[in-house]
Amino acid sequence: MTEEKTPTRAELQKYVHKAALLTRAERFEDAVLIFEDHLPRLSSGTDKDKIIAASVFSYYGLCIAALRKQYSDGIKYCQLSLKVQSSNPEHWENQAKIHLLARSRARAVEALFEGLSHDPSNKPINKVLDEIGRRREPVISFLPRDNILNVYLGKRRHEKFEARRAMAKQRRKKAKLTAAEARAAQQKHNKKS
């Protein structure tokens, strides 16, 4: 019968830090195993240990939301992290990702902008915003966004933008074909010579 060695506080801190890094790399299965093995022990330790545990709860929340679809629990864990480190944009990013998993884009955008209020140049948050798309200003800025004129004109503006984007894509495709045809003709000419 072998005795399992109980990890030291420093080792527990390393483990949960590693799990947070695994979460950032979207290796949720690996991360959640580490979290569930070591986070309870760390969070029952000293006040310093509890603060460290709380600082990684948002990562655990993202893991359980992604793996088990436990969105409300995931948000609760993010809130615990935000109580300890409200100005840490990573916790806001994790909360936003959970909202996106739960198909709540509006709440995700709110969390992302809250994170940007603490660090406007935060690359991961800006990347998520770019992926989900940023809203444009209303066409008529002095009217509310949901005013019927803004809604109608915004839809027309979007249709025009999409049509331009489709035309540009066709031009690029045609240019590639033309370049490929030119290379084929050049190769044919070189073979004749």
What is the full per-residue pLDDT of the chain (193 aa) written as tens digits?
Answer: 455 678 888 888 899 999 999 999 999 999 999 999 999 988 888 888 888 888 999 999 999 999 999 999 999 999 999 999 999 999 999 999 999 999 999 899 999 999 999 999 999 999 999 888 877 788 999 999 899 999 999 899 889 888 888 888 888 877 777 777 777 877 877 877 6
Query: In the listed set 87, 113, 135, which residue is the last one of a domain according to the structure?
Result: 135
Residues 94 and 141 in one domain: no
Judgement on whether residues 121 and 157 belong to the same structural domain of the protein? no
CA distance 92 to 101: 14
Q: Measured between alpha carbons, how far is 107 from 52 in angstroms, rounded to an integer?
A: 26
Q: Work out how many domains the chain is built from and give that number.
A: 2
Distances (CA, A) of 113 to 58, 78, 161, 179: 17, 16, 25, 44
Q: Which of 98, 64, 59 is nearest to 80 (CA)?
A: 59
Which structural domain range is residue 18 located in?
A: 1-135
Phi and psi at residue 135, in whole multiples of 5°?
Answer: -75, 140
- CA gyration radius for the chain? 25
From CA 120, how far away is CA 137, in angstroms rounded? 19
> Is residue 32 located within the same domain as residue 95?
yes
Last residue of some domain: 87, 102, 135? 135
> Cα–Cα distance between 57 and 81 in angstroms, integer?
6
CATH number for the domain spanning 40: value is 1.25.40.10
Domain co-membership, 100 together with 179: no
